[in-house]
């Protein structure tokens, strides 16, 4: 006989957003998680020697409330504090990031070209996509030397298809004055100039946070198969029917739409755009011959299959090279040959001198993030869908649930605000 019961607040997903929502609700909730452990994309991969996350997750707080929660939950001796050291690999040189405020580090001719194009760029009053924004804000040279090729590798999509503000506050804008000031070491700070990381990886915080909620109210290995908006119930992979008052979704919005089993929503899901990212976590037997202090490096060169490589060992101040390598693919890419991409990446890493022929790859972990970066396009329409669902007491949370670009602190804050709203409305 199938089990059938009621819960006031039903949360789909036990990642950071789902855990945060449960924590701030305090009671009257149930979390459904398809995996056997919490964390979602914020997991740390078990390994005896190397610390690897699903991808780089670093902590930088703007709000004292959420910083205090983090500090209260983790042991002080587990925290690594760093001043960000990030570079761009450009024509065999390492240029400080962001490119647009460090063009003075280029060869003289290229610097003059970038400066000239920046000063005499066409400042259109209106532009309606991400690529046009780049040309209007930064001119032809800066855009075509770095901003366009890098973001095309990152997002794996025609940049015309992204909204002009696709990265929101996370995009490092700079005007002519700021570029000139950077030449005198007065560069504008970016949002994560300093950050914290954890010796045991970001999963250490997630595990500590998860301990603060009632584990009896979490069902692992339980996927949602179907959502009935009219009857306000879900069917699970275990054959249960769960009725709810409020449904809080944290899984990717495209997957949520498919759960509704409504033809109109399935069409909406297919139209949503995103990329996939193959993440290669690699551990070697010694240090990099060239990259001894960088935390992550950007690679706009399209002859290299990776767009970014992060150096866990430099962040953790360890000797043996430990990296995450990120390779972007369009959403419709089928049958990604991970081993072939690994071979290409190793060849590329030799080319840019991250490794040499003497170094041995000792361990690896390969995973596919699907979706990885959502493409912010037709944002008003997507937000309209979400407002429509709220009329049926269905709420979206998290970077993927809300189909947006944000950081971990944002996920915690939005969960806090939603929990407060639900408590006050009933």
pLDDT for residue 297: 98
According to DSSP, the β-strands at 233-236 and 241-249 are antiparallel
**Cα separation, 375 vs 380, whole angstroms:** 13
pLDDT for residue 381: 87
CB 350 within 8 A of CB 342: no
Average pLDDT value for the chain: 93
Residues of the chain with pLDDT under 50: none
CB 14 within 8 A of CB 395: no
Q: Candidates 3.40.30.10, 3.40.50.10090, 3.30.1950.10, 3.90.660.20; correct CATH number of 58-64+72-98+190-199+275-373?
A: 3.90.660.20
The CATH architecture of the domain made up of 4-43+201-273+377-425 is 3-Layer(bba) Sandwich (3.50)
Q: What is the CATH number of domain 100-182?
A: 1.10.3110
CB 315 within 8 A of CB 291: no
308-346 tens-digit pLDDT: 999 999 999 999 999 999 999 999 999 999 999 999 999
pTM: 0.94
Burial of 240 (0-12, 13-18, 19+ CB in 10 A): middle
**Cα separation, 415 vs 426, whole angstroms:** 17
Domain with CATH 1.10.3110 in the chain: 100-182
**Cα separation, 375 vs 399, whole angstroms:** 12
Q: Which phi and psi (to 5°) does residue 412 adopt?
A: -65, -45
**Cα separation, 126 vs 129, whole angstroms:** 10
pLDDT for residue 61: 94
In 10 A of CB 9, how many CB atoms? 25
pLDDT for residue 3: 87
- Largest Cα span, the chain: 76
Which residues, other chains included, contact 277 with Cβ-Cβ below 8 Å and sequence gap of 6+? 55, 326, 327, 328, 329, 368, 369, 372, 373
In 10 A of CB 93, how many CB atoms? 11
Structure token pair of residue 23: 């924590």
Domain with CATH 3.50.50.60 in the chain: 4-43+201-273+377-425
């Amino acid at each position: 006989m199938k089990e059938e019961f009621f819960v006031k607040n039903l949360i789909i997903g036990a990642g950071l957003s789902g855990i945060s929502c449960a924590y701030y609700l305090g009671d009257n909730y149930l979390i459904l998680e398809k995996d056997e452990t919490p964390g979602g994309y914020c997991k740390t991969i078990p390994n005896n020697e190397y610390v690897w996350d699903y991808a780089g997750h670093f902590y930088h707080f703007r709000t004292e409330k959420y910083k205090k929660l983090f500090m209260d939950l983790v042991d002080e001796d587990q925290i690594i504090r760093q001043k960000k050291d990030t570079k761009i690999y450009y024509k065999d040189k390492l240029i400080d990031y962001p490119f647009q405020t460090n063009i003075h580090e280029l060869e003289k001719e290229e610097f003059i070209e970038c400066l000239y194009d920046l000063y005499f760029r066409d400042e259109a009053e209106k532009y309606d996509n991400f690529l046009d924004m780049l040309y209007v804000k930064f001119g032809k040279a800066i855009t075509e030397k770095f901003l366009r090729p890098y973001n095309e590798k990152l997002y794996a999509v025609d940049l015309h298809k992204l909204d002009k503000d696709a990265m929101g506050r996370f995009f490092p804008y700079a005007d002519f004055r700021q570029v000139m000031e950077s030449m005198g070491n007065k560069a504008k700070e970016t949002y994560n100039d300093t950050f914290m990381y954890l010796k045991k990886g970001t999963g250490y915080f997630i595990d500590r946070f998860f301990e603060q909620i009632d584990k009896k109210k979490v069902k692992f290995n339980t996927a949602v198969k179907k959502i009935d908006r009219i009857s306000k119930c879900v069917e699970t992979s275990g054959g249960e029917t769960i009725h709810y008052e409020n449904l809080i979704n944290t899984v990717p919005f495209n997957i949520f739409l498919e759960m509704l089993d409504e033809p109109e929503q399935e069409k909406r899901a297919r139209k949503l755009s995103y990329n996939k990212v193959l993440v290669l976590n690699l551990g070697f037997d010694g240090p990099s011959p060239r990259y001894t202090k960088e935390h992550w490096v950007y690679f706009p060169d399209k002859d290299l299959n990776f767009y970014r490589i992060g150096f866990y060992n430099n962040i953790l101040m360890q000797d043996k090279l430990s990296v995450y390598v990120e390779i972007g693919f369009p959403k419709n890419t089928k049958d990604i040959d991970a081993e072939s991409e690994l071979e290409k990446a190793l060849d590329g890493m030799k080319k840019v001198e991250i490794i040499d022929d003497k170094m041995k790859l000792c361990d690896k972990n390969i995973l596919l993030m699907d979706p990885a970066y959502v493409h912010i396009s037709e944002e008003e329409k997507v937000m309209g869908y979400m407002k429509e669902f709220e009329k049926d007491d269905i709420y979206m949370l998290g970077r993927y649930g809300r189909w947006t670009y944000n950081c971990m602190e944002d996920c915690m804050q939005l969960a806090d605000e939603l929990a407060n709203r639900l408590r006050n409305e009933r």
